[in-house]
Chains A and B, each alone.
Chain A
């Protein structure tokens, strides 16, 4: 009787049932789509942060540069062909100063720290090409180099190319923390303990492709030839270094023996990150300690805008739509119950208990809520699909000068920041679907409670009303 009566009543008031269901569907659809987008943005943020300083890394420790930025010159004019030049210059990353490698060992022993490894992030400037030549009339021979002040010369322009690459010195004792943990191995192998003193390198896939290099080839950096043992891909476009070397080799290239400029720290759990940060700052007050949440605050760009949009405007919009839908459902239900005064009065007159009558009204609204919820989840999934399909890649810009411990990227005009591009995937999770079902039932229940309250207040004597 309950379900028969319920389904026939809904069919009788099908137009109103449709309005209530669609109202709830729009509200719930918005909640699902916006939450899916917010989840997607959060995942994108997580991806960006992990790509910046590794999946296994919870904290990075750096020190801000105190002196002049690193400088250096190229010595030219040596060798058989005095006009041709191919030189490398390895510099420490700007904005960061290096410190003793023992700091990583000290940090590893602190409270809340599960592991810590040192890293050295460097910039490799490669100069390649032909110097300009100067011809002095009457001398019959070309001279290269600085002309004397007294002579006038004919200058033949040279061709010089300057390219910058990022180099990361990696502690080969533990590659699960640090820059390599942010990448995926595409070919070859990663570093092992025995690579610590060997001239081996791992290259970023895009960089290797540009240079036409692969596993087994070698790359020469500042006169040292490194055998390429692996090719990696960054987890997101724009992240990671171009070249990864064993830490000791990077230190030799930079002339910074036993020096590092970043400590990658893994906390014992996500709850101990704050404890670990305090302990590190206590042990080394000069350190710049960045946790993932600190880094999240430094992220700017469209990813940050999307995050704000999804969490602020989107959340409020969807909550407002849902509340409006529930209010609409409630008003329509109260009005519908009001039109059934004689019917409900009759049921009470023939002995139906108030609880049973209220249950009947609530059953109807709960079914409407479930229909609205199912439609809403469908709308939300469709919305999330559309967002995923049409949403452009989000970019995240992180300033490296503010404590970001990663290497300086080549992308972007500002050498102290890097811009990372990540695709937005609005994801509808099971828990989100469960929440949507819960919300739809809650919406139906609220409307039913008000409708039921109206029905409960009706008297059996209402059965004898002449005009309804």
Chain B
């Protein structure tokens, strides 16, 4: 699915420049569940942005499904994000004026799914994350866990090939955190998506079969427990 070879990302120019990624080599297979850990400011979010086609690397190659993401046009990247990639953010990022169901529907807008079909699919996605009864509620009327469930439904409704989650439990209490990780795990199993979760939480990372550590802009594979 992903093949990264000596990928760097540099912000700024000259002496004030910062290397967020300093030669990342990484390979993620189709249908894998990978957790990327690391301290704050070590480039986790930057890596996720590159994997999600939201930004371009400074050097190196970043292949997604045989295509070099860095060479795609903005329009091609937008289409890729719309069709193939689902995002889950730490701060949920729901549109505050739209209901839970309408927020899920926003993911289907770029796919040109209209009217009742869009509604039906959004409601089905909400039902899958256990929020059918909250479909008409605004984000402000939902708990943090419910908002993140809505965000997960928004990521899944388009039936993506990859779900990229940036600290999905960062703003949640412990009990809700377990629920959300359980839900992601379940969806990974049932939908067969490639799931890449960036987290600094060991308990969340422990649920992933494959764990990476990002430090000083480089990725280190962590051996599975007991290996």
Question: Which residues of A approach B to under 8 Å, CB–CB?
Answer: 1, 4-5, 8-9, 11-12, 342-343, 346-354, 356, 459-461, 463-464, 466
Contacts and interface: CB of A to CB of B under 8 A. Distances in A.
Given A349-B52, A350-B81, A356 B95 contact: no
A26 B27 CA distance: 62
A350 B154 contact: yes
Interface string B94-105: 011110001001
Contacts of A461: 49, 54-55
A1 B87 contact: no
A460 B74 CA distance: 11
Contact of A342 (B52, B83, B91, B166): B91
B93 interface: yes
Given A351-B107, A461-B49, A464-B45, A11 B102 contact: no
A460 B95 contact: no
A235 to B, nearest CB: 59
Contacts of A346: 87, 89, 93, 95
Given A5-B95, A464-B45, A464-B49, A347 B89 contact: no
B110 interface: yes
A269 to B, nearest CB: 56
B105 A1 contact: yes
A101 B77 CA distance: 88
Given A11-B97, A346-B89, A351-B82, A1 B54 contact: no
Given A1-B105, A5-B98, A459-B54, A464 B48 contact: yes
B110 A352 contact: yes
**Which applies to chain A's interface (DSSP): helix, strand, loop or mixed?**
helix
Interface of B: 45, 48-49, 52-55, 74-75, 78-79, 81-83, 86-87, 89-91, 93, 95-98, 102, 105-107, 109-111, 154, 166
Given A459-B55, A460-B54, A461-B55, A466 B78 contact: no
A15 to B, nearest CB: 15
A206 B152 CA distance: 88
Nearest to B79: A351
B118 to A, nearest CB: 8
Given A346-B89, A460-B54, A353 B78 contact: yes
27 contacts: A1-B102, A5-B98, A9-B97, A11-B97, A343-B96, A346-B95, A349-B87, A350-B81, A350-B110, A351-B79, A351-B82, A351-B83, A351-B110, A353-B75, A353-B78, A353-B110, A354-B74, A356-B110, A459-B55, A460-B52, A460-B54, A460-B81, A463-B54, A463-B93, A464-B45, A464-B54, A464-B90
B190 to A, nearest CB: 21
Contact of B78 (A5, A343, A351, A464): A351
Contacts of B107: 350-351
B110 A1 contact: no
Contacts of A463: 54, 87, 89, 93
Contacts, number: 82
- What 9 A-B pairs come out closest when comparing CB atoms? A351-B82, A8-B97, A351-B110, A346-B93, A460-B54, A461-B54, A351-B81, A461-B49, A12-B97
Nearest to A9: B97
Contacts of A466: 90-91
Nearest to A352: B110
A352 B109 contact: yes
A296 B52 CA distance: 72
A51 to B, nearest CB: 61
A321 to B, nearest CB: 32
Given A349-B81, A352-B82, A353-B110, 12 more contacts: A1-B102, A8-B98, A11-B97, A347-B95, A348-B78, A349-B52, A351-B81, A356-B109, A459-B55, A460-B54, A463-B89, A464-B89
A76 B190 CA distance: 127
A9 B98 CA distance: 9
Nearest to A353: B78
Contacts of B93: 342-343, 346, 463
Given A349-B52, A461-B55, A12 B96 contact: yes
Nearest to A351: B82
Nearest to A10: B97
A79 to B, nearest CB: 100
Q: Give the residue among A4, A11, A351 with the most B Cβ atoms within 10 A.
A: A351
A348 B87 CA distance: 11
Q: Give the residue among B53, B82, B97 with the most A Cβ atoms within 10 A.
A: B97
Contacts of B95: 5, 343, 346-347
Nearest to B45: A464
A464 B106 contact: no
Contacts of B87: 346, 349-350, 463
B116 to A, nearest CB: 13
A1 B55 CA distance: 28
A349 B93 CA distance: 11
Nearest to A467: B91
A349 B74 CA distance: 12
Nearest to B107: A350
B110 A349 contact: no
A261 B111 CA distance: 83
Contacts of B105: 1
Given A461-B49, A464-B45, A464-B48, A350 B82 contact: yes
B96 A349 contact: no
Q: Give the residue among B45, B54, B98 with the most A Cβ atoms within 10 A.
A: B54
Contact of A5 (B55, B83, B91, B97): B97
A351 B53 CA distance: 10
Contacts of B86: 350
A8 B140 CA distance: 14
Contacts of B55: 459, 461
A347 B111 CA distance: 13
Contacts of B74: 354
A464 B87 CA distance: 10
B166 A464 contact: yes
B106 A350 contact: yes
B49 A1 contact: no
Contacts of A460: 52-54, 81
Contacts of A351: 78-79, 81-83, 107, 110-111
A459 B50 CA distance: 13
